[in-house]
């Protein structure tokens, strides 16, 4: 097993660093239910990693209820932030951050809004870990476009080819690859669809650390 060399680590947030996907599923389902719709687990999985604007677009296309992007995004974020105290780090996240600190720079790249990212990081006590935080508010195109991770690399001052992206979603894996980076997928469910997309597919962040060589 050849190690993957990294001069910087770029973390996704939802579902990778923080165990937030169950809360997202509950909040989005409740939002849809209040409008008479059933936002199923399958629809939730299809939207993972693509940002809230995409989720609202899918809801509009599938269920037909009107959507106001600014108003409805604020409402969903408000619901999520109100419950952010329920969030916890994914297994191995703190250990990986502890080891990387002082060896290589770390960035966080998320399609979520800055307000939401800040609330989530505060909830798990990790606001000071990242030299760079890039959110969906900061770029023209969310994942799977490369914009978020490309900006992380620029702001860190590290060449994309020397960055390793950690992601749990297919959209995020594709964003990292499009940015010219090595990608380790840490899927929450079946990882078979990641095999041809990522440089490595592992079961958790402990296993991800075992694949990385800091340099």
The angle, 0 to 180 degrees and rounded to 10, between the axes of the packed helices 69-82 and 52-63 is: 110
With contact defined as beta carbons under 8 Å apart, do 143 and 54 qualify? no
Kindly provide the b/e burial profile for residues 28-45, where b requires at least 16 CB atoms within 10 angstroms of the residue's own CB: bbebbeeeebebeeebbe
Residues with a known catalytic role: 12, 14
Sheet holding 106-109, edge to edge: 132-134, 106-109, 8-11, 163-167, 182-185, 200-201
Task: Name the maximum alpha-carbon separation found in the chain.
Answer: 53
The rounded distance, in Å, linking the Cα atoms of 12 and 120 is 12
* One-character DSSP codes across 88-156: -BPTTHHHHHHHHTTTS-EEEE-SS-HHHHHHHHHHHT-TTS-SEEE-GGGSSS-TTSSHHHHHHHHHH
With contact defined as beta carbons under 8 Å apart, do 147 and 140 qualify? yes
């Amino acid at each position: 097993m050849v190690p993957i060399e990294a001069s910087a680590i770029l973390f996704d947030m939802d579902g990778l660093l923080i165990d937030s996907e169950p809360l997202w599923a509950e909040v989005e389902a409740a939002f849809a239910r209040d409008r008479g719709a059933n936002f199923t687990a399958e629809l939730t999985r299809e939207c993972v990693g693509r940002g809230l604007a995409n989720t609202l677009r899918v809801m509009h296309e599938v269920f037909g209820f009107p959507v106001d992007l600014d108003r409805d995004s604020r409402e969903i974020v408000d619901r999520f932030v109100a419950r952010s105290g329920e969030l916890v780090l994914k297994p191995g996240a703190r250990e990986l951050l502890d080891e990387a600190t002082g060896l290589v720079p770390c960035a966080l790249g998320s399609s979520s809004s800055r307000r939401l990212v800040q609330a989530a990081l505060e909830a798990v006590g990790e606001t000071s870990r990242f030299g760079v935080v890039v959110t969906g508010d900061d770029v023209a195109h969310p994942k799977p476009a490369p914009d978020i991770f490309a900006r992380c690399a620029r702001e860190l001052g590290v060449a994309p080819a020397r960055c390793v992206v950690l992601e749990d979603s297919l959209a995020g894996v594709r964003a990292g690859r499009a940015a010219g980076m090595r990608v380790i997928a840490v899927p929450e469910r079946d990882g078979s669809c990641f095999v041809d997309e990522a440089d490595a597919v592992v079961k958790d962040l402990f296993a991800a650390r075992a694949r990385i060589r800091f340099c």
